[in-house]
Structure 1
Amino acid sequence: MSDDNLTCDAFLGGLVHLWQPTQEYRAGVDPVLLAATIPAVSGQSVLELGCGVGAAVLCLGARVPGLVLTGVEREHSYAALAARNGGAALEVVTADISALPLSLRQRQFDHVLANPPYWRRGASVAASDPAREAALGEQTPLQVWITTAAKRLVPKGQMHVIHRAERLPDLLAALPADMGSIEVLPLAAREGRAAERVILRARKSGRADFRLHAPLILHRGDRHRDGDQYTPEVRNALRKGAALAF
């Protein structure tokens, strides 16, 4: 992609700048919220599956200095942008998550995160743009995303996945038997609204009881108004790079 077809956008109040396409799939708030929930500490290793232009993994790296960051992205143009955005701080592997190279299959990570495509194409219409469709339409089954993430974790390592709320049963069913300490954080647009997204956390070899957390409310008020209407907790995560309690 030429620079004429890109914008350089600020995330976390300018802590992160990302080159991304003007017309194709563009990173929104979901990868930023996902990154804000990961309790990483300096020195740990992080792998993002389907990293796109690097929004989630680089936002996490900006909040927690000293992480070893790796991203996997199938689409060559997006992998190139992720490498440009991350520079020396981000190792980018261009590969399909269902066919990772041996060099990556021989490694394990403290944290694995993913923002898989949300839409099953048997029940929705495909996007006309191939790159946008790759980001939004589920071509690789969700089971493969979860299984691949679990395999790449060190013992006691954590997986974090954001997805649509109606796919929570599929997420839970896809977890391998050695993944425990499962927690779910629902994301609701406003007080009193049903959750539209969930963030799933699970730990390899974890033994803690299942926890369903109270919803994280994204916006103040009962309806949309002009201006920034994020709740203080969410605004701090999106604008200042603060962690979200989970």
Structure 2
Amino acid sequence: MTGAIPSTPPLLHSSAVVLDSSVPDDCELSEDDFLGGRISLYQPKKGHHRSGTDAVLLAACTPAKPGDLVVDLGSGVGAAGLCVAARVGDIRLLAVELEPDVARIALANIQRPDCSRYLHAASVLNCDVEIRGEARKEAGLVENLANHVIANPPYYRPERYQTSPNQARATAHMLTDEGMEPWFRTAVSILKSSGTFTLVQRADELPDLLRLMEGRFGGVTVQPFSPREGEAAHRVVIQGRKQSRAPFRLLPTIALHDAGRDGPAERIEAVHRHGAAIDLG
């Protein structure tokens, strides 16, 4: 599929930034199923980050309920937030995405009939997660806004990894000089009291994630994931609750695949195919 996305139903809720659901003529798109085909999303075939397992795991760990407002920071095409919607149903969703072309695709995905039926209201905010103070409020990210914030930040630091020559891909995959600090700063600001911040990241970033949680969130819970049973964790989902005094919890590692098998482990199959939750409670 190339060029403009087919027409879709009206936006469920007016966006803070006016976008249309068209993309440049040179942007080739695929349509990819999530949660066993419960939803299908447009994604760029190349040049941008493509959502997959990490977005699904992040969504599965998000403790949203019908009627809650979920803010997806750095949403990309909206996969994680829309997977939360498809699993829970009747949520309000705000997708925050910096790249205008990707934000337009997120808007088109929100408007798809197979996605919109799971949403009570939704909008896309085309802005930078790193903005702060009055600029952040003026953009629409006001204090005490959300019940839950989710994020799948870039996984790589420019001082450790070579930056892609493709600017859009570099933006999606590389953290800025401030690292993940702005993501935590924005999350704690826009969350309501007792709201949760849930984030997926590389396992080797866990020390920095715990440092950034300190003083902002309590009840911090870490869920490690390994490629296969018996292997070291390569991903973590970390969750904190605003103004919580609950103790830290490190949960047993979940293997994405059983030892000696190529197919997903039974528990992960249920998450990917049937929208099963991963309870961090």
Identity between Structure 1 and Structure 2 (%):
37
Letter in 2 for 1:121: P
Whole-angstrom distance in 2 between the partners of 1:101 and 1:235: 40
Structure-1 residue corresponding to 2:267: 233
Structure-2 residue corresponding to 1:76: 100
Which of 32, 52, 60 in structure 1 is aligned with 2:56?
32
Structure-1 residue corresponding to 2:10: none
| C-alpha contact (below 8 Å) 1:146/1:171 kept by paired residues | no
Letter in 2 for 1:126: T
Q: What runs of 5+ residues in structure 2 fail to find an aligned partner?
A: 5-26
Whole-angstrom distance in 2 between the partners of 1:17 and 1:191: 30
Q: What does residue range 16-55 of structure 1 map to in structure 2 within 5 Å? A: 16-24=39-47, 25-55=49-79
Whole-angstrom distance in 1 between the partners of 2:276 and 2:270: 5
Matched, 1:218 2:218: no
| C-alpha contact (below 8 Å) 1:147/1:176 kept by paired residues | no
Q: Which runs of 4+ in 1 moved over 3 A?
A: none
| C-alpha contact (below 8 Å) 1:150/1:176 kept by paired residues | no
Structure-2 residue corresponding to 1:13: 36
| C-alpha contact (below 8 Å) 1:108/1:153 kept by paired residues | yes
Quickly say closer, same or farther: Cα 1:106–1:205, change in 2 above 3 A.
Answer: closer
| C-alpha contact (below 8 Å) 2:143/2:189 kept by paired residues | no
Matched, 1:144 2:176: no
Shift in Å, 1:141: 2.0
Cα deviation, 1:87-124, whole Å, max 9, x if unaligned, reads 26431000001123523224510100000000001010
State which drifts further: 45-54 or 103-112. 103-112
Q: What does residue range 150-189 of structure 1 map to in structure 2 within 5 Å? A: 150-189=188-227
Letter in 2 for 1:206: S
| C-alpha contact (below 8 Å) 2:198/2:239 kept by paired residues | yes
Shift in Å, 1:238: 0.8
Whole-angstrom distance in 2 between the partners of 1:154 and 1:176: 18
User: Over aligned residue pairs, what C-alpha RMSD do you find?
Assistant: 1.5
Which of 92, 96, 99 in structure 1 is aligned with 2:128?
96
Whole-angstrom distance in 1 between the partners of 2:274 and 2:185: 33
Whole-angstrom distance in 2 between the partners of 1:42 and 1:159: 17
Residue 30 of structure 2: SS of its match in structure 1?
strand
Cα deviation, 1:42-88, whole Å, max 9, x if unaligned, reads 11110010000000000000111111100100000110000000126
TM-score normalised according to structure 1 size: 0.94
Structure-1 residue corresponding to 2:162: 125
| C-alpha contact (below 8 Å) 1:7/1:21 kept by paired residues | yes
Residue 13 of structure 1: SS of its match in structure 2?
coil
Letter in 2 for 1:133: A
Letter in 1 for 2:254: L
Whole-angstrom distance in 2 between the partners of 1:165 and 1:41: 28
| C-alpha contact (below 8 Å) 2:154/2:175 kept by paired residues | yes
Quickly say closer, same or farther: Cα 1:7–1:137, change in 2 above 3 A.
Answer: same
Whole-angstrom distance in 2 between the partners of 1:127 and 1:50: 18
Whole-angstrom distance in 2 between the partners of 1:119 and 1:106: 29
Whole-angstrom distance in 2 between the partners of 1:162 and 1:45: 19
Number of residue-to-residue matches in the alignment: 242
State which drifts further: 74-83 or 18-27. 18-27
